[in-house]
Amino acid sequence: MPLIQASTAVPLYLDPSFWVAVCVLLFLAFIFKKGAHKAVGAALDDRADKIRAELDEARRLREEAQALLASYQRKQKEAEEQAESIIQQARRDAESMAARSRAELTERLERRAAQAEAKIANAETQALAEVRAKAAEIAISAAEDLLKSNLKAADHTKMVKEGIASMGKALN
């Protein structure tokens, strides 16, 4: 049996494929006449507009996000600069306080040294006065002892002159 059989000639109006094709064409003509192509086109246009709006919104949001990021980066940089400025000011203040403390300490030490020197000078003056007073007492006592030992008048005069001379030297 052959695989392909010769077809017998059937008129076209009796072929079911012909009538299916005619029905499809009529249906498409009916839909075209009613404006379905306009509705499909409008739906596609609406969908394109919606997609375009979504793309514009996404672009706007991206630009907004970039502006916000730039703003935050600028604020962060300003904060870092301000922190650096505060640190530098704190260092300057600390150095200034240290210099002032050193100056005050030096001044106090100099003042105490001056006070100590004044006390020492005062003590020296007082000690010198005490030594002179003691020397004067001793001289007076020695003079009394000599006078009491019955010296001659000439010896008395000589001793008084020598005592006055030695007292003058001791006091200067």
Q: Where does the pLDDT of residue 140 fall: very low under 50, low under 70, confident under 90, or very high at 90 and above?
A: confident
pLDDT in tens, 61-72: 999 999 999 999
Q: Which of 92-96, 115-119, 133-137, 146-150 shows the lowest per-residue confidence on average (mean pLDDT)?
A: 146-150
CA distance 139 to 120: 28
The predicted structure's pLDDT at residue 103? 93
Tokens of 119: 């006390």
Percent share of the chain, pLDDT over 90: 51
3 state DSSP class of 63:
helix
Tell whether the model's pLDDT for residue 7 goes beyond 80.
Answer: no
Of residues 70 and 153, the one with the higher pLDDT is: 70
CB 143 within 8 A of CB 163: yes
The predicted structure's pLDDT at residue 50? 96
What are the backbone angles phi and psi of residue 76, rounded to the nearest 5°?
Answer: -65, -45
CA 127 → CA 134, 135, 169, distances in Å? Answer: 10, 12, 17
What are the backbone angles phi and psi of residue 169, rounded to the nearest 5°?
Answer: -70, -40
Of residues 94 and 141, the one with the higher pLDDT is: 94
CA 139 → CA 54, 130, 169, distances in Å? Answer: 124, 14, 13
The predicted structure's pLDDT at residue 109? 94
CA distance 49 to 167: 128
Long-range contacts of 75-80 (CB under 8 A, 24+ apart): none
Tell whether the model's pLDDT for residue 57 goes beyond 70.
Answer: yes
CA distance 19 to 21: 5
Q: Which of 92-101, 137-146, 148-157 shows the lowest per-residue confidence on average (mean pLDDT)?
A: 148-157
Tell whether the model's pLDDT for residue 26 goes beyond 70.
Answer: yes
Tell whether the model's pLDDT for residue 1 goes beyond 60.
Answer: no
CA distance 117 to 107: 15
pLDDT in tens, 78-127: 999 999 999 999 999 999 999 999 999 999 999 999 999 999 999 989 98
Element (H, E) at 15: none
